[in-house]
Amino acid sequence: MKNAVILFGSPRKKGNTVELARAMSAVLKDRGWGVRMLYLNDLNIRPCQGCYVCLPGGVCKINDDMKDVRKYIMESDLIVYATPIYWFGPSGQLKLVMDRSIAFMDESYGSRIEGKKAVTLTTFADEDMDSCRPAIDIFRKTFDLLKVAYAGQVNAPGCQPEGGVRQEYIDKARALAESLA
């Protein structure tokens, strides 16, 4: 069985981003995948301290919930980065996990998660696609460095706080999941 972990970066469990995450999750589960959704906002994840203690062995000196996030990432074939766009980037909740992901690298810039796939799901209020581009650039460069294959993205514009996600983007999230499953 293949496994996916969803790094869910919105603080809102009934907001826009969850609609995309659920659409993907439903298709993957239908196809027999194990899917674990991690509500990062509920976890205790401290900011990276920049000490590089993790590089030789992959173990961070901070004893917090990133241990579990790490375990689920290691067990997964697919990592789904799902986030609202906050100030043109990923949410702080997701960025904390991304910073702590330096523990997936080793001293010679090798990757401990090489070969896994990643996809990204973003929602944002603006109708202008440029609003999500800085985030997509960050994702692309991050995945390059971690030697993770960027297997697709869905970026949903026009997502007002109470507005919901337009059906075409839900359909895109389902199609992306189908392309992977």
In this structure, which amino acid lies at residue 88?
F
For 72, counting Cβ atoms within 10 Å of its Cβ (0-12 exposed, 13-18 middle, 19+ buried), the class is middle
In this structure, which amino acid lies at residue 36?
R
Q: Which residue in 64, 87, 109, 114 binds ligand FMN (CB under 6 A)? A: 87
Instruction: Give yes or no for a contact between 3 and 9, defined as CB atoms under 8 angstroms apart.
Output: no
> What's the order of all strands across the beta sheet hosting 117-123?
34-39, 3-8, 78-84, 117-123, 149-156
Number of residues that bind ligand FMN (CB under 6 A): 18
Q: Which residue in 6, 16, 38, 80 binds ligand FMN (CB under 6 A)? A: 16
Q: Which residue in 4, 5, 17, 121 binds ligand FMN (CB under 6 A)? A: 17
146-179 exposure pattern, b = at least 16 Cβ within 10 A, e = fewer = bbbeebbbbbbbbbeeeeebeeebbebbbebbee
Q: Which residue in 37, 66, 85, 118 binds ligand FMN (CB under 6 A)? A: 85
Measured from the CB atom, the residue of 10 and 153 that comes closer to ligand FMN is: 10
Site for ligand FMN in 158-177 (CB under 6 A): 159-161
Min CB(73)–ligand FMN separation in Å: 21
Is 46 an interacting residue with respect to ligand FMN (CB under 6 A)?
Answer: no
> Token match 């949903």: residue?
156
Segment interacting with ligand FMN, rule: CB under 6 A, options 14-22, 24-32, 112-120, 145-153: 14-22
Q: Which residue in 120, 123, 153, 155 binds ligand FMN (CB under 6 A)? A: 123
Segment interacting with ligand FMN, rule: CB under 6 A, options 7-15, 39-47, 68-76, 101-109: 7-15
Helix, strand, coil shares of the chain, percent, nearest 5, are 40, 20, 35
The residues that touch ligand FMN, with contacts defined as CB under 6 A, are 10, 12, 15-17, 84-88, 123-126, 131, 159-161
